[in-house]
Amino acid sequence: MSQVDYEIGKARPDQLPPGVPVITFDPYSDEVMSNPYPYYQELREAGPIVWMQKYGTYAVGSYGSVIRVLTDHESFCSSAGVGLTNFHTETPWRKPSIILEVDPPEHSRTRKVFSRILSPRSLNKLRERFEQEAHAMVSRLVSREVCDGVRDLAEAYPLKVFADAVGLPPDGREHLLPYGDMVFNAFGPQNDRFRECLARLGPSIAWITEVCQRENLSKGSFGAELYAAADAGEITHEEAGMLVRTMLSAGLDTTIFTLGNALVCFARHPHQWAIVRDNPAIARQAIEEVLRYDSTFHSYYRTATRPVTLDGVQLDKNQKILVLIASANRDSSHWSSADTFDVRRKPAANLAFGTGIHGCAGQMIARLEAEIVLKALASQVERLEALGEPELHFNNTVRGYSSLPLRLVAKDRKGK
Amino acid sequence: MPTIVYIEPDGQRKAIQVEAGANVMRTAVGNGVDGIVAECGGAAMCATCHVYVAEEGAELLPPVGEVENEMLESAAAERRDSSRLSCQLNVTSHIETLVVRIPDRQM
Ligand code: HEM
Ligand code: FES
């Protein structure tokens, strides 16, 4: 279908201010998603800000422009939704998130509670348990001839440790994945992918609503802490339940895809794996590089709160801007050899977790999980041998794999 | 143009002239100032950009924000009255010189 829907945005290409290059590719098409990076390069080369013809929005993909948008929340807000749908003019598919899709001062109220629970200090107590689980899981996989890196590790690990930390019951956790898939599809257009995903949701929403209730969350869990914050009057009890749900929608698919992307990167770049294996202290930095090189979260939107000039272009109020963080992470004006995967690279503020007041509130636990899994692999695994091509999972905003047939070749214990 | 003076953990001073509005953490990272890790890149989530603000200039900064206040509890070095997260500080045009001391550890 080549029909162009101008209703979503406001300006039309023929009415654009001078100097705005028009981009015609569809970032949500299978073709672009299969390998988006050459398209992102085209977009960055076209200009710091461009017009996405298919959806009637602006887009930024260079490092500097992305930072300018994300750090100016007064001009570029989140309360109109961080997806393509403009909540100020259209109806969202679900109630807007009370942390992701609100502006200050409301935002600080929920963010403060969320970030306290997921702060480095509170996470310290989880490290030991997370390490034990990672070692046990990796040992089991090493002893098998073949495994599926995505299902048996990238999915299994967060579904165990993260869901335990949130306080969920052990049974029924498979419902979490279709729900997360839906949430991330919904940041894009209501395309076939979105509709098929919605149709597949089935009983997942009911299950999730149930487990977010206070009585179903384990003692001492993040979920219990959210309800305690409600007892203390910082948020309401209803909001506590909504924030438990936020943890589940924002915190699983993202971490799972990141772990899967790491496995694919290291299976494809054995020399890079050797560096991590021989020097596990580098694991945390290596995860930053995985997130930079193949970012999990690709793009989301901001909306102009007033007429505003961005990189020389005058934007109208209510205009949506697509913010391509995955493109900024490959911008060669910021990164040297931007298209090279190099775990020795000094981490220099990659944008995989966004930045500014809405920068990921769960990033410290995501880093913790990924670092621990990588270290567990480094202590036991000589090489990661892919036994076939990984299968890409198509989602409108997050990028990752649904399957990776893998052999984890054990280190020779007597050898060294 | 305002100046930010960083006192690195080993006592070395680095003075950097900046445009009004410059961010104290980003300026440090961009100019190779030692001792600011800034793992979260400015999202007030990591507390590894902790600094102590010297008295002069401090009163011109906005007060510690609610989220910043939570996160300062995670700072590796001792929290003091002068503690701030440098990613939350922008140098406005009425600040001439801002002096920040960097603690000896961030993790
Ligand atoms: C590697 C894994 C992850 C990635 C790549 C990621 C990425 C992101 C990004 C890019 C944003 C910014 C959205 C925006 O500015 O509009 C964000 C926000 C957020 N993330 Fe994550 N995330 C990850 C893991 C997690 C985890 C584990 C949790 C929860 C425990 C979480 C909870 C949140 C929340 C609550 C927000 C909204 C924060 C706010 O609006 O103040 N994320 N994430
Ligand atoms: S850079 Fe992470 S808290 Fe400031």
pLDDT(A65) > 70:
yes
Q: Please report residues of A whose CB lies closer than 8 A to that of B40.
A: 353, 359-360, 363-364
CA–CA separation, A115 vs A405, rounded Å? 36
How large a percentage of chain A has pLDDT more than 70? 96
Nearest-ligand number for the alpha carbon of B88: 2
Is the C-beta atom of B51 inside 6 A of ligand 2?
Answer: no
Give the angle B75-B77-B78 at the CA atoms, nearest 5°: 95
With a pLDDT cut of 90, the percent of chain A lying above it is 89
What's the predicted TM-score (pTM) here?
A: 0.95
* pLDDT tens-place string over residues A320-348: 999 999 999 999 999 999 999 999 998 77
- Tell how far the Cα of A361 is from the centroid of ligand 1, in angstroms: 5
Q: Does B40 fall in a domain? A: yes
Does the pLDDT of residue A112 top 80, yes or no? yes
Q: What average pLDDT does this structure show over B1-30?
A: 95
- DSSP H helix total and E strand total for chain A: 17, 13
CATH number of the domain to which B90 belongs: 3.10.20.30
Note down the domain range covering B20. 3-101
Chain B residues with CB-CB distance to A118 below 8 A: 45
Number of domains within chain B: 1
Q: State chain B's maximal CA–CA distance in angstroms.
A: 33
Contact A363, B40 (CB under 8 A): yes
Instruction: Report CA A104 to chain centroid distance, whole Å.
Output: 23
pLDDT at A5: 46
Compute the distance from residue B9 Cα to the ligand 2 centre, in Å.
18
Contacts 24+ apart (CB under 8 A), B26-35: B26/A349, B26/B87, B28/B4, B28/B86, B29/A348, B29/A349, B33/B6, B33/B8, B33/B102, B34/B8, B34/B9, B34/B10, B34/B102, B35/B8, B35/B9, B35/B102, B35/B103, B35/B104, B35/B106
pLDDT tens-digit series, residues A36-49? 999 999 999 999 99
Mean pLDDT of B76-102: 95
ipTM, two decimals, is 0.94
pLDDT one-digit tens code per residue, A270-292 = 999 999 999 999 999 999 999 99
A94 pLDDT tier (thresholds 50, 70, 90): confident
| Cα(A35)–Cα(A33) distance, integer angstroms | 5
Has residue A416 got a pLDDT over 60? Answer: no
Q: Do the domain assignments include residue B21? A: yes
Would you say residue B106 lies in a domain?
no
C-alpha–C-alpha distance, residues A229 and A90, integer Å: 33
Residue at B73 is within a domain:
yes
Does A4 or A285 have the greater pLDDT score? A285
Q: What is the pLDDT of residues A221-273, one digit of tens each?
A: 999 999 999 999 999 999 999 999 999 999 999 999 999 999 999 999 999 99
Rounded to 10 deg, the angle between the A253-268 and A176-185 helix axes is: 90
**Ligand 2 binding pocket includes B23 (Cβ within 6 Å):** no
Domains for chain A: give ranges and CATH numbers. Answer: 3-413 (1.10.630.10)
The yes-or-no verdict on residue A68 having pLDDT over 60 is: yes
Residues 104-133 on A with a CB inside 8 Å of B are 108-109, 111-112, 115-116, 118-121
Q: Residue A74: is its pLDDT beyond 90?
A: yes
Mean pLDDT of all residues in A362-391: 97
CA–centroid distance for B63 within its chain = 13
Residue B81 lies in a domain: yes
Band of residue A415 on the pLDDT scale cut at 50, 70, 90: very low
Q: What is the mean pLDDT of residues A59-75?
A: 97
